[in-house]
Amino acid sequence: MTLLAVPNISEGRDPALLALARRAVEATDTRVLDVHTDPVHNRSVLTIAGPAVVSGCVALAGVACDIDMRRHHGIHPRLGGLDVCPFVPHDTGMDDAVHAARETAALIGRDVGVPVYLYGAAARRAETRELPDLRRGGLVRLIERARAGLLPDEGPSEIDPARGVVCVGARGVLIAFNVWLRGDLQTAQWIAASVRSDAVRALGLDVGNGQTQVSMNLIDPESAGIDHVFGWVSAEAARLGAAVVATEIVGLVPERFMPQDAEVARLLLEPGHSLESRLGTAS
């Protein structure tokens, strides 16, 4: 039985803190399968697994809670130091992921003292099921909503603007895939809007140096996978006069969802890795 967690921390620029975070996870005998760090987003995405994966996530929360949200700068939306912590079943069921998510939320709330919202299949309320709904308006807006009655599921009821919250969830496979463009922000935002659907969440972002990014979460890769959305984005970019300069897969992808399009592979900033390859070689 393999249960994965894919915690995202709001740090992509401080090697010392990232090393500390990794050591904290590994000290619980949890395997770190992959770390993807992005200084522009100021964010790192870990993929971790093992029988002690819940303890690994709680340990990571203890490190990440020291990231000050009042001083954090990065182009990715965020609500806390350990921003999101989804559990993803690999060869086990969603019930196991929900159980692990709720246990993790309770332990973070109790032992780390940070408010926790449950989302995805682990949510107990319709208002928190969709992660974009929690993120809408950022941390300031979430603090207002908490004071108006949308209290955290675990931990303190009052949200500290410095520490923020942790969003812990359970979900199926999600692929984070970015396409880098040479073009203006308006063009990237237009392309993001055109590709956005029930299966694809997308944002147009300015990454500096005359480049922009269509940043996507493929939440139903069976119907809209990497090759499909790349074809759509590249066609729209050509129509609007923007050049596709790179592609990026964030984290690990199940083998069946790895890209087959040669152009996607040619443009990858770093080689893509399948989840199965890391599970087989991780020590």
* % the chain with pLDDT above 90: 96
**Residue 282: band (very low, low, confident or very high) from pLDDT cuts 50, 70, 90:** very low
Q: Does residue 90 carry a catalytic annotation?
A: no
Q: Each residue of 220-267: pLDDT tens digit?
A: 999 999 999 999 999 999 999 999 999 999 999 999 999 999 999 999
- Tens of pLDDT along 151-185? 999 999 999 999 999 999 999 999 999 999 999 99
Beta strands at 8-9 and 43-49: parallel, antiparallel or unpaired: antiparallel
Domains and CATH numbers, the chain: 3-170 (3.30.990.10), 175-281 (3.30.70.670)
Q: What is the pLDDT of residue 70?
A: 96
Distances, alpha carbon 69 to alpha carbons 101, 193, 210, 265, in Å: 23, 28, 27, 35
CA distances from 16 to 19, 20, 25, 63, 271 (A): 5, 6, 15, 11, 25
Q: Choose the catalytic residue: 76, 90, 99, 228.
A: 76
Backbone angles phi, psi at 129, to 5 degrees: -65, -45
pLDDT number for residue 1: 59
pTM of the model: 0.93
Q: Decide: residue 186, CB within 10 A, 0-12 exposed, 13-18 middle, 19+ buried.
A: exposed
